[in-house]
Amino acid sequence: MVKPRRRFEQELAELEELILRMGAISEDMLSRMIRALRERNVEFAEDTVRMDDQVDALNLEIETKCIRLIATQQPQARDLRRIIAALKISGDVERIADYAVDICLVVKELADKPLFKPLEDIPRMQELVKKMLHETLDAFVTRDLELVYKMIADDEEVDTLYENLYVELKDFMKQDPSLVDQAVSLILITRYLERIADHVTNIGERVFYVETGELKELHV
């Protein structure tokens, strides 16, 4: 038996694999970023920044492939949703990697002095954000929307951590102006992590769209 559109199916599977590869590099960047911060290791931060080139290249490859599939394969229904989702998701993952780069640049600024407070909530935020990204990309290929709902709940926790840290760091600055430089850097890092989590919720919304055909904001 000749199975119709076998080649097209292969290309869609390959598109998903490229997304996963891009996501895996971004997750790796998030892990390295927190290690660079913990150890205040400039070299490690710079290595992580360089990984962004791979993510950018994959983003272009995915975009090119999506354009080609739309132009030549006349995708309909679920196929169309998968391609549009891949296009949007790759844009979000690219932004996530950019934020990881931004964090590494801040880490470089922090490297010359010991931190005035131990790192607790920032690693917790990083862990949550990385888990959110991993599970949401998993949901993209396993079609398991439960993972998306879990991610939305995690995002709320990230928002809470961000708000608390913001208030806490602001108080430190008020009490001791000599901490302003370091506190601003830490606020920037938490802000970037919070933005990463928002991009992950965008990805979740695309996964939801592929599975249900419904475009809607899942973020509460």
| Interface with another protein (CB under 8 A) | 1-14, 16-17, 67-68, 71-74, 141-142
Interatomic CA distance for residues 142 and 208, integer angstroms: 12
Q: Helices 42-73 and 6-39 sit at what angle, rounded to 10 degrees?
A: 160
Closer to another protein by CB, 42 or 84: give it: 84
Distance of closest approach, residue 12 Cβ to another protein, in angstroms? 7
Q: Tokens for 202?
A: 């965008």
Nearer to another protein, 71 or 167 (CB): 71
For residue 87, the minimal CB distance to another protein (Å) is 14
d(CA 120, CA 137): 26
Nearer to another protein, 72 or 164 (CB): 72
CB of 74 to another protein, least distance (A): 5
* Shortest distance (Å) from residue 51 CB to another protein: 23
SS3 assignment for 165-203: HHHHHHHHHHHCHHHHHHHHHHHHHHHHHHHHHHHHHHH
Nearer to another protein, 142 or 160 (CB): 142
Q: Is 14 or 176 the residue whose CB approaches another protein more closely?
A: 14
Residue 217 sits at φ, ψ, to 5 deg, of -75, 125
Minimum separation from the CB atom of position 140 to another protein (A): 10
* Amino acid at residue number 113: K
Among the listed residues 102, 28, 103, the one whose alpha carbon sits nearest the alpha carbon of residue 58? 28
From CA 205, how far away is CA 109, in angstroms rounded?
35
